[in-house]
């Protein structure tokens, strides 16, 4: 009797023990294939920053310091009130919480995050710029962003001894510029263009070179903005070490269920993949056009603009040898790119609402609702298929997306305006 009692007790303990194991959403639920997919998203997989041969000062510290000063300087704008940091705010993961950006006027697009942006081979939602330095020049001369121009910017640098010194350290002396005209650019208003045409060609060249260098310093600064390790990354790390206890302390069952959907049934990983959760490609996801605008042609127009840009990798202001401009020379170009936008990173996504190229979707719940229905695209076709997920599954996906946020892996000093 006594013997049987003890056996019974042991059996009961064993049953309870194993039942717990079965009931828990333990990491051992992942197949080898799933584990590989999960690991491919981890920040551990982030390679070192690719070099940018079109920008020979991309990784020079003094260049990044000059770029930081330019980044936060409102004097680079027509009304002296707008800086890059006005729209790309460090405290909001370098976004602005607006549907459409506001500079000297209201813009046409939603402000994307700049964290990890140096990994991107193309810039802007439609990829109309092929380098980070060429991108940085555009807002300076756009009438609703900084509304300045290259002559005024080079004049500002010339008038400030700090800038003179810093610029000389990286690029050599600033070019001398004429007292008049005040404002001139080959882009912009008729007056600005006329003023530009009145300059000698050698002056035009020297000004455009100094302007391109401003972009190169701004790019060097932005290369510092790197994503940090999130709760999701800690979970992946624990899975790799086969440490179930730590793994399950990192993510809740609901977050793990969301991850399962993300890499499986919901197929998010087909576009949002790799450690930045983007394939850096362009896709049509059927997002409604922006109010009062025609539907965006997206990448279809973007690649054409990039090819014709005098500041592109093959242009005279680039430091690259032409054979190094592989992205530009071999870019895909076909009708499937009509209405396609660049896949954004999902790192820090909980902090960068509203979403999509026009800020059309206010919350993550709205984004997931959109993918669940996958409406017809206004131009061409929506590449994402309807998901028909249940409300609880959408909440799980959202819970997972919220695990992808963490403070930047960037020294604090780069996140503030420089001291002097
Ligand atoms: C008025 C607000 C505003 C200002 C000022 C501004 N930006 Fe932007 N930025 C935007 C918007 C909006 C976009 C997306 C535009 C588009 O895709 O057509 C963008 C896009 C970018 C991108 C491309 C991101 C990507 O995902 O491809 C980079 C890089 C960038 N800005 C850096 C800068 C720098 C550097 C400055 C200062 C010289 C600057 N921005 C000034 C609003 C602004
Ligand atoms: C066919 C490729 C593709 C698939 C599949 C896909 N996405 Fe996207 N995602 C994109 C593109 C492209 C955009 C930008 C679209 C735009 O702005 O018009 C985007 C935008 C987003 C945004 C907004 C990002 C921002 O900064 O504004 C979120 C969040 C998002 N996707 C999450 C998901 C989730 C979750 C899934 C799975 C349910 C998913 N995506 C499936 C390509 C895709």
Tens digits of residue pLDDT in 335-378:
999 999 999 999 999 999 999 999 999 999 999 999 999 999 98
Burial environment of residue 335 by CB neighbours within 10 A (0 to 12, 13 to 18, 19 or more) = exposed
**Under 8 Å CB-to-CB from 285, ≥6 apart: which residues?**
341, 370, 371, 377, 382, 383, 384
Question: 109: closest CA among 286, 291, 283, 312?
Answer: 291
Please tell me the predicted confidence (pLDDT) of residue 181.
Answer: 96
Average pLDDT over residues 40-48: 98
Is the pLDDT at 190 greater than 80, yes or no? Answer: yes
**Under 8 Å CB-to-CB from 35, ≥6 apart: which residues?**
239
What residue's CA is closest to ligand 2, atom 36? 268
Over residues 212-269, the pLDDT tens digits come to 999 999 999 999 999 999 999 999 999 999 998 999 999 999 999 999 999 999 999 9
Over residues 154-164, the pLDDT tens digits come to 999 999 999 99
CA of 145 relative to ligand 1 center, distance in Å: 9
Q: Are 328 and 309 in contact (CB under 8 A)?
A: no
Rounded CA separation 232/255 (Å) = 9
Residue 262 alpha carbon, nearest atom of ligand 2: 37
**Under 8 Å CB-to-CB from 32, ≥6 apart: which residues?**
none
Q: Which ligand is nearest to the CA of 386?
A: 2
Over residues 57-114, the pLDDT tens digits come to 999 999 999 999 999 999 999 999 999 999 999 999 999 999 999 999 999 999 999 9
Q: Is the peptide bond before 219 cis (omega within 30 degrees of 0)?
A: no
- What are the contacts of 101-104 at 24+ separation with CB within 8 A? 101/145, 103/77, 103/139, 103/142, 103/144, 103/145, 103/146, 103/147, 104/77, 104/78, 104/79, 104/143, 104/144, 104/145, 104/146, 104/147
Q: Is the CB of 111 under 6 A from ligand 2?
A: no
Structure tokens at 52: 């940018």
Gyration radius from the chain CA atoms = 25
Q: How does residue 5 score in pLDDT terms, banded at 50, 70 and 90?
A: low
Residue 219 alpha carbon, nearest atom of ligand 1: 35
Pocket of ligand 1 (CB under 6 A): 82, 84, 86-88, 101-103, 107, 109, 111-112, 114, 117, 120, 123-125, 132, 135-136, 139-140, 145-146, 218
**Under 8 Å CB-to-CB from 207, ≥6 apart: which residues?**
150, 151, 154, 175, 177, 184, 199
Rounded CA separation 407/93 (Å) = 9
Q: Which ligand is nearest to the CA of 377?
A: 2
Question: 215: closest CA among 371, 4, 372, 66?
Answer: 66
Rounded CA separation 381/286 (Å) = 7
Structure tokens at 6: 């003890």
Q: Are 123 and 306 in contact (CB under 8 A)?
A: no
């Amino acid at each position: 009797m006594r013997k049987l009692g003890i056996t019974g007790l042991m059996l009961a303990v064993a049953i309870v023990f194993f039942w717990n194991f079965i009931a828990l959403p333990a990491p051992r639920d992942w197949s080898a294939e799933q584990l590989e997919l999960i690991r491919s998203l981890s920040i551990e997989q982030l390679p070192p920053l690719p070099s940018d041969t079109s920008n020979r000062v991309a990784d020079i510290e003094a260049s990044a310091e000059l770029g930081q000063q330019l980044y936060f300087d409102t004097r680079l704008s027509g009304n002296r009130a707008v800086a890059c940091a006005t729209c790309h705010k460090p405290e909001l993961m370098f976004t602005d919480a607006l549907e459409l950006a506001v500079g000297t006027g209201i813009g046409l697009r939603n402000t994307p995050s700049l964290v990890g942006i140096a990994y991107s081979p193309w810039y802007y939602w439609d990829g109309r710029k092929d380098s980070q330095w060429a991108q940085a020049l555009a807002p300076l001369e756009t009438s609703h962003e900084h509304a300045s121009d290259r002559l005024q910017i080079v004049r500002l640098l010339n008038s400030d001894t700090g800038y003179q010194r810093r610029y000389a350290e990286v690029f050599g002396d600033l070019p001398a510029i004429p007292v008049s005209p005040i404002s001139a650019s080959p882009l912009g208003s008729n007056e600005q263009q006329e003023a530009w045409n009145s300059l000698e060609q050698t002056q035009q060249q020297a000004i455009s070179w100094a302007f391109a260098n401003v972009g190169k310093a701004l790019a060097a600064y932005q290369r510092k903005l790197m994503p940090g390790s999130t709760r999701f990354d800690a979970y992946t790390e624990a899975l790799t070490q086969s440490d179930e206890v730590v793994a399950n302390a990192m993510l809740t069952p609901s977050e793990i269920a969301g991850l399962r959907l993300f890499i499986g049934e919901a197929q998010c990983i087909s576009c949002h993949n790799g450690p930045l959760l983007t394939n850096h490609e362009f896709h049509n996801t059927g997002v409604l056009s922006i109010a009062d605008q025609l539907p965006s042609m997206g990448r279809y127009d973007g690649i054409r603009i990039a090819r014709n840009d005098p500041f592109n990798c093959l242009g005279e202001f680039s430091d690259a040898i032409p054979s190094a401009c592989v992205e530009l020379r071999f870019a895909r170009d076909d009708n499937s790119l009509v209405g396609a936008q660049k896949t954004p990173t999902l790192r820090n996504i909980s902090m960068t609402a509203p979403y999509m190229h026009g800020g059309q979707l206010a919350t993550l719940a709205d984004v997931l609702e959109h993918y669940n229905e996958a409406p017809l695209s206004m131009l061409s076709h929506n590449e994402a298929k309807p998901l028909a997920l249940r409300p609880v599954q959408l909440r799980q996906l959202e819970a997972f997306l919220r695990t992808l946020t963490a403070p930047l892996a960037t020294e604090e000093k780069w996140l503030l305006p420089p001291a002097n």
